Structure 1
Amino acid sequence: MTTGPKLLLSAFAAQPRSSFLEWLAYHRAIGATDVLLFTDRRQSGKQPLFDALAAAGAVRVTPVAVDPDMKEEIHNSALRAAAVEATDSGGYGLYLGADEYFCILNTSKSVQSLMRSSGGADVLSAPLQVAGMAEGQDSGAILFTERPTAAVTADAPLRSVVRLGLFAARNPEVPTGPAQGKAALNWVNGDGTPMAEPHSRLTWTNDAGARGASKAAILKIPAPSVEAYLLHTATLPEKQHPDADTLIAWLETQRAITGEGPDLTPRMADTARELDSLMALPGVAEAQEALCAEERATLERLRTGGGDMARVLGAVGAKAPPLAPKTKAQPPVTPVAETAEITPDAEPDPRPEAPAALPPWFAEIHTGGDTEGFYTRLKNHAVVGILRDQARLVISFDNLSNVNDLSPEREPWAYKFVRDNGWSHMAVMARRKDWFRCPQLIAHLEKLAADGVFAGFDKVVLTGTSMGGFAALAFASLAPGATVISFNPQTTLDETLVPWEKRFGMGRARDWTLAHSDCAFEIDEVEKAFVLYDPFFEPDRRHVDRLEGDNVIRLKTWCSGHFSPVFLRRAGLLKPLMQHALDDTLTPDVFYKMYRDRRFLPWYRKALQTNLQERGHDKLARIVSPAFRKLKRQAAE
């Protein structure tokens, strides 16, 4: 094993596979000094291989509550790993799936020396490439076979080596939030060249240069052989088994992958030595052999048992698996790992049935979850706190459509987006159309502010749409210095102030003498208030005209009506907009450059035609459709 600065490697594995030992040996060979393994706590004490490795000090096993949707665990465990990395120092952290191999493609002998050769980088983000299945490849060792083919895409996900103690949070791709105690970051790509600023996933989405791979890349091997993948599906609960047609289609897609993948074979000798060392640890060889025997028996049963699995094997021409590894140093069967993320719809969905599952947000914060938080049920509202990261807090408010959803599965507004970025989230959920005009709720939010809850975060963002957009502005005074992202807000429904507002009868009937009832007087101390609205839609425009101050940034979503978030989502712009705002990189110039893509949305064409006709510009309205078709043709060329 390479000596020098530590390399903390973290991963999640619901249960051991025979391939894990090879994965561990390979990464020890390239510098992993500490291995943090998150496992399903329901299997604690029932995994001899993991237990033996932990007892020998080869890994640190941390049992955790597993999300009912297994695909979420790659995100959840990345957050857990970040919490450990943030409190450590003297080296680097790397988070991978248990079917992902970090490939050093220059002369560096270890990840640590690779970072030194990249100018002492603080972060190195390398692209992920998905390996295919070579024709005739059996289910044996993967490191010792021919160089695999691999799919390489311009928008490939990233995996990052990060200096320990520098970031408080990460997602599977990159660290998130501000760096701790360091203003200027040396953040490089897989070529070792600087990543474009501002440092965010959004910046690099369409930047081919972000995915350089001459020095480093990640090889993901979701299905090295047909048998290995069938072995993986056979271990799932029966109700999660994909049908034969789905399996055949996915496996054929995997076998059709072309392109030259990273070469793992130069690490063969070092990996074999590390594998010998691991097998010599007390109890490891016995646990590994028992695991291999169990997998061989399962594969033989699949081959001879008839039914769907036999049809799959026949359809894709799979080879029979070998009965045993020839030597103890030869890595055994390599099935797919639990955290595989191939393409969003390519792999059969292994998620369990969800009726008895906890809502995802509650699963995070209940006693079996891994995130600190709170849930306060008031008479007409609920306040949920999910405290993932002290750097950023997003406060979201429900809109009118959420009010009608009283199901246990209901999620806070923007929950998935905030969770995927690893930020803390406080959600105010409503069960009536009251514009949050409730003395109990107002007193509760004021107390949270007085107790310093909001002041405890480096950055606070309030957001919502329509009724929620009103609340984001109205309660902004509770978090001085915050950023507001408000879509189509009302500034008040007090009829003495906005006598022209005839919508929202239930809202206008509420008590508008309560505190925080006029947004125009609540935003003086916010840093920025981004207000998105359609200037052609007069009721919304008149509300926005009431907002004054240099900190008010009006972003015009022409032709979206009262539905800016829906319009932006259909144009593929809502997440980029929110990402820019939360990364503090949103400006009018950035927004309007993105907003040009609205031209390809049929909604925009129809709304523009209607608007022109209503204003008496029939001639201009008639040329909208031909112009729209021309743009689409040009974009397709």
Structure 2
Amino acid sequence: MPDYDEIPSPDLSLSDLPAEAWSAELARLGEAQGHYEQVGPDHAALFCEAGRNLLVTFTSFEEARRAPGALPFGYRLAARLGWSHLAVLSRGETWFRDSRLWGYFDRICDDGFLEDFDRVLFYGAHAGGHAAAAYSLAAPGARVLALRPVATLEPSLAGWDRRHMEARRLDFTSRYGFAPDMIEAARAAYVVYDPHLGADAAHAALFRSEPCLALPARFAGAGLEPMLKRLGLLEPMLEAAMEGSLEPEGFAQLWRHRREDPSWLRALARRLEGPAHRRRLKAVATYGATTKDAGYYRRVLETLEAVEAA
């Protein structure tokens, strides 16, 4: 088993450990570098102390174990930048809706724990995006970066969202429930979503209070977070969000790199199939023919040329 220094290391890895040993090592890691607390049967909080900036992330144990180094996302970034990191972990798809978790955030708020940091950034994607926005209430003046955040799954407010039927049974009406209201005390809230994904766009539209800044990521689809990770864009976005500089212009510059993602480019090409978009599809295919996926786009161009010649 690894020996832990008091200062988090970006090179730490817990890979290749059996499940029980891995869980025990997370607890040991927290005890060495900050604290580790089981919060009811379905959640835990791992805190690793480093600097005066705090990154708060929401993810599942399953996702953390699959991540590089088998560590919760954010640990290595925080270690590299000298940030402190609080990882809130769930077992399964809990949507972080648990009264014991509400109590945990109430307690660290009352204890002044979150006031010890110069800057606090809450981050999460989809279910984690809901949690990041909702629990930011515990740290007024914090910033939030939420990818595809869900405002609520309460049927009376979001009955149009039919994607997560089981989760609709959870309590979204009690503490930290309606995320757009919880975010009003934030200094800034960056909401990144695909406006072409209907349900995601509808949730994003509910985040309309003054701290919220909508950042459209067109044609990213439900795979927004994995794509940002593949392209190496998520970490600079988190750095900019922590600094409060993730403005539309800066995000647009980062988002231009989406063209380097084969999955995104193919999805765009598929959306442009049909007579009405032939000119745009030709432009996309011409660019695609310069990438590693050149063979596919050359075939698209050949098909377009045959149609035009007919």
> Cα gap change, 1:505/1:376 in structure 2, threshold over 3 Å: closer, same or farther?
same
> Cα gap change, 1:470/1:400 in structure 2, threshold over 3 Å: closer, same or farther?
farther
Which of these residues, 361, 365, 368, is aligned with residue 30 of structure 2? 365
* Distance in 1, Cα, partners of 2:61 & 2:216: 22
- Aligned residue for 1:607? 267
* Distance in 1, Cα, partners of 2:3 & 2:204: 45
Check whether the contact 1:487–1:564 (CA below 8 A) recurs between aligned residues.
Answer: yes
User: Within the alignment, does 1:480 sit opposite 2:140 as a pair?
Assistant: yes
Check whether the contact 2:27–2:36 (CA below 8 A) recurs between aligned residues.
Answer: no
How far has the Cα of 1:423 moved from its partner?
1.3
- Aligned residue for 1:573? 233
Check whether the contact 2:191–2:214 (CA below 8 A) recurs between aligned residues.
Answer: yes
- Aligned residue for 1:304? none
How far has the Cα of 1:597 moved from its partner?
1.6
Please list every run of 5 or more consecutive structure 1 residues that lacks an aligned counterpart in the other structure.
Answer: 1-64, 68-75, 81-170, 173-340, 342-350
TM-score if structure 2 supplies the norm length?
Answer: 0.81
User: Within the alignment, does 1:383 sit opposite 2:38 as a pair?
Assistant: no
- Kindly tell me the number of residue pairs found equivalent between the two proteins: 287
Check whether the contact 2:39–2:104 (CA below 8 A) recurs between aligned residues.
Answer: no
How far has the Cα of 1:618 moved from its partner?
4.3
Amino acid at match of 1:589: E
Check whether the contact 1:399–1:466 (CA below 8 A) recurs between aligned residues.
Answer: no
Q: Deviations 1:522-568 (Å, cap 9, x if unpaired)?
A: 11110010111111111111100011123211112111101212111
* Distance in 2, Cα, partners of 1:619 & 1:399: 43
User: Within the alignment, does 1:397 sit opposite 2:73 as a pair?
Assistant: no
Amino acid at match of 2:131: A
Check whether the contact 1:400–1:467 (CA below 8 A) recurs between aligned residues.
Answer: no
The two structures, once aligned, show a CA RMSD in angstroms of 3.2
User: Within the alignment, does 1:589 sit opposite 2:254 as a pair?
Assistant: no
Q: Which structure shows the bigger proportion of residues in helix conformation?
A: 2
1:563 partner SS: helix
> Cα gap change, 1:612/1:427 in structure 2, threshold over 3 Å: closer, same or farther?
same
Amino acid at match of 1:372: G
* Distance in 1, Cα, partners of 2:275 & 2:161: 22
* Distance in 2, Cα, partners of 1:426 & 1:577: 18
* Distance in 2, Cα, partners of 1:468 & 1:593: 25
1:555 partner SS: strand
* Distance in 2, Cα, partners of 1:395 & 1:565: 16
User: Within the alignment, does 1:491 sit opposite 2:151 as a pair?
Assistant: yes
Which of these residues, 515, 532, 541, is aligned with residue 175 of structure 2? 515
Check whether the contact 1:600–1:628 (CA below 8 A) recurs between aligned residues.
Answer: no
Check whether the contact 1:536–1:559 (CA below 8 A) recurs between aligned residues.
Answer: yes
* Distance in 2, Cα, partners of 1:454 & 1:476: 10
> Cα gap change, 1:430/1:419 in structure 2, threshold over 3 Å: closer, same or farther?
same
Amino acid at match of 1:386: C
> Cα gap change, 1:537/1:358 in structure 2, threshold over 3 Å: closer, same or farther?
closer
Amino acid at match of 1:441: L
* Distance in 1, Cα, partners of 2:237 & 2:207: 21
* Distance in 2, Cα, partners of 1:401 & 1:624: 37
How far has the Cα of 1:496 moved from its partner?
0.7
1:507 partner SS: helix
Which of these residues, 122, 125, 131, is aligned with residue 465 of structure 1? 125
Please list every run of 5 or more consecutive structure 2 residues that lacks an aligned counterpart in the other structure.
Answer: 294-310
> Cα gap change, 1:549/1:511 in structure 2, threshold over 3 Å: closer, same or farther?
closer
Identity value in percent: 26
Check whether the contact 2:15–2:70 (CA below 8 A) recurs between aligned residues.
Answer: no
* Distance in 1, Cα, partners of 2:158 & 2:116: 36
- Aligned residue for 2:164? 504
Q: Which has the larger radius of gyration?
A: 1
How far has the Cα of 1:604 moved from its partner?
2.0
TM-score if structure 1 supplies the norm length?
Answer: 0.41
